[in-house]
């Protein structure tokens, strides 16, 4: 089984994913980091040079590659659900957890994250809060449709979120 984490930027996919992978003794993959490492450039630079359609193609390829392995935790980019083919890959190869947070929480986390500029290029050219609101509005139904489980991350501890995922999907944990 592969555990996929989906959701908007700064909802905790990478943080929860790393903790969950450690807990289960499984490898962790972040598709955005995978794309950046393969390209030798940041997501922002890839998008600036080649555009969003090119990035989405690389995202689909990265997902197809990780879906061939088993027993891993995969944090996906926020826009992974924009392509129905990606959702089909995730649904047939694993379980999908939607990590969600309120727009104020997302804004706070983005402003506090030094990596935001390189890893999170503008999606709409709008101001930060306007972009969060408009993109969340567009993607919310796609996240809902793709998710097997939805968890709010605004006020939950990472361990609690991991507990809920493990319990929901009845995963055997690595024991020391």
Q: Which residues are annotated as a binding site?
A: 10-15, 32, 56, 78, 120, 139
Other CB atoms within 10 Å distance of the CB of residue 89: 20
Q: Which residues are annotated as a binding site for Mg(2+)?
A: 14
Known binding-site residues for substrate equal 32, 56, 78, 139
Which residues does the annotation place in the binding site for ATP?
Answer: 10-15, 120
Strands 2-6 vs 72-75: parallel, antiparallel or unpaired: parallel
DSSP 105-135: HHHHHHHH-TTHHHH---SSSS-HHHHHHHH
φ, ψ of residue 131 in degrees (nearest 5): -65, -45
């Amino acid at each position: 089984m592969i555990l996929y984490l989906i959701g908007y930027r700064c909802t905790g996919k990478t943080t929860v994913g790393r903790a969950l992978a450690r807990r289960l003794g499984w490898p962790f993959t972040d598709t955005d980091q995978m794309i950046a490492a393969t390209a030798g450039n940041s997501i922002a630079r890839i998008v600036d040079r080649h555009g969003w359609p090119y990035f989405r193609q690389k995202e689909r390829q990265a997902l197809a590659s990780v879906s061939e392995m088993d027993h891993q935790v995969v944090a996906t980019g926020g826009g992974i659900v924009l392509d129905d083919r990606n959702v089909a890959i995730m649904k047939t190869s694993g379980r999908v957890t939607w990590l969600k947070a309120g727009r104020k929480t997302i804004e706070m986390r983005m402003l506090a994250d030094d990596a935001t500029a390189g890893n999170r290029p503008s999606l709409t050219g709008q101001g930060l809060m306007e972009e969060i609101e408009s993109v969340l509005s567009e993607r919310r139904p796609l996240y809902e449709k793709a998710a097997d489980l939805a968890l709010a991350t605004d006020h939950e501890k990472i361990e609690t979120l991991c507990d809920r995922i493990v319990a929901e999907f009845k995963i055997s944990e690595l024991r020391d």
